[in-house]
Structure 1
Amino acid sequence: MKLRRPKTSGEVDRRSVVNPAQARELLVALTYCGRTRGPMLAAMFACMYFSGLRPAEAAGLREKDCHLPSSGWGLLTLEKTRPQSGKRFTDSGEGFDERGLKHRAEGTTRIVPIPPELVTILRTHLETYGTAKDGRLFRTRTGGVISASAYAKIWKEARTYALTPEQVASPLAARPYDLRHAAVSLWLNAGVHAPEAAERAGHGIDVMLRVYAKCIDGQCEIANQRIEVALVS
Structure 2
Amino acid sequence: MNTSYDVKFWEVRRNQSSKRPSYEARWKVGGKAKSKTLRTKTLAENFLSDLRQAAKVGEAFDIASGLPMSMLAAVPAAGPSVLDFGRSYVVSRWRGSAARTRETDVYGLLSLIPALVADLPGRPDDAVLRSLLREYVLLPADRCPEVPPRLRPALTWLEKASLPLADLHDSRVIRTALDAISVTFAGKDAAANTVRRKREVLHHLLELAVEQKELQANPLHAIKWKPPKATGTIDPRTVVNPKQARALLAAVPTIGRTRGKRLHGMFACMYYAALRPEEAAGLRRENCELPEVGWGLLTVEKARPQANKRWTNSGETHDTRGLKHRAKDDTREIPIPPALVAVLRAHLDRYGVADDGRLFRTSKGKPFSSSAYSGVWQQVRRVTLTAEQVASPLAARPYDLRHAAVSLWLNAGVPATEVAKRAGHSVDVLLRVYAKCIEGQQEPANLKIGDALNG
TM-score range (shorter-chain normalised) is over 0.9
Change (3 A) 1:196 1:34: same
Aligned twin of 1:212 = 434
Aligned twin of 1:83 = 305
Question: In 2, Cα distance between the equivalents of 1:193 and 1:229?
Answer: 26
* 1:28-54 deviation digits (Å, cap 9, x = unpaired): 111111000001101100000001000
Change (3 A) 1:6 1:77: same
Aligned twin of 1:25 = 247
- Counterpart residue type for residue 284 of structure 2: R
Change (3 A) 1:122 1:229: farther
TM-score under structure 2 normalisation?
0.50
Cα RMSD after superposing both structures: 1.7
Task: Using CA pairs under 8 Å that are at least 6 residues apart, name the structure with larger relative contact order, 1 or 2.
Answer: 1
3-state SS of the aligned residue for 1:31?
Answer: helix
- Counterpart residue type for residue 341 of structure 2: V
The structure with more radius of gyration:
2
In structure 2, stretches of 5+ residues that fail to align are 1-174, 183-225
- Counterpart residue type for residue 298 of structure 2: L
- Counterpart residue type for residue 267 of structure 2: F
In structure 1, stretches of 5+ residues that fail to align are none
Question: In 2, Cα distance between the equivalents of 1:231 and 1:192?
Answer: 30
Cα distance, 1:55 vs structure 2: 0.4
Aligned twin of 1:96 = 318
Runs of 4 or more off by more than 6 Å in structure 1?
Answer: 228-233
3-state SS of the aligned residue for 1:117?
Answer: helix
Aligned twin of 1:117 = 339
Change (3 A) 1:222 1:157: same
Identity rate, percent: 63
Question: In 1, Cα distance between the equivalents of 2:289 and 2:448?
Answer: 40
Cα distance, 1:229 vs structure 2: 7.2
* 1:34-81 deviation digits (Å, cap 9, x = unpaired): 000001101100000001000000111101000001111110000011
3-state SS of the aligned residue for 2:245?
Answer: helix
Q: Which one of 402, 409, 414 corresponds to residue 180 of structure 1?
A: 402
Cα distance, 1:133 vs structure 2: 1.0
Q: Which one of 264, 274, 287 corresponds to residue 65 of structure 1?
A: 287
Do structure 1's residue 41 and structure 2's residue 267 form an aligned pair?
no
Aligned twin of 1:130 = 352
3-state SS of the aligned residue for 2:261?
Answer: helix
Question: In 2, Cα distance between the equivalents of 1:226 and 1:18?
Answer: 30
Change (3 A) 1:232 1:123: farther
Cα distance, 1:226 vs structure 2: 5.2
Cα distance, 1:129 vs structure 2: 1.2
Do structure 1's residue 9 and structure 2's residue 231 form an aligned pair?
yes
Matches of residues 158-197 of structure 1 in structure 2 within 5 Å?
Answer: 158-197=380-419
Cα distance, 1:215 vs structure 2: 0.3
3-state SS of the aligned residue for 1:200?
Answer: helix
Q: Which one of 388, 398, 423 corresponds to residue 201 of structure 1?
A: 423
- Counterpart residue type for residue 67 of structure 1: E
Question: In 2, Cα distance between the equivalents of 1:136 and 1:78?
Answer: 12
3-state SS of the aligned residue for 1:112?
Answer: strand
3-state SS of the aligned residue for 2:254?
Answer: coil
TM-score under structure 1 normalisation?
0.95
* 1:155-181 deviation digits (Å, cap 9, x = unpaired): 011000110000000000000000000
3-state SS of the aligned residue for 1:196?
Answer: helix
3-state SS of the aligned residue for 1:111?
Answer: strand
Change (3 A) 1:229 1:111: farther
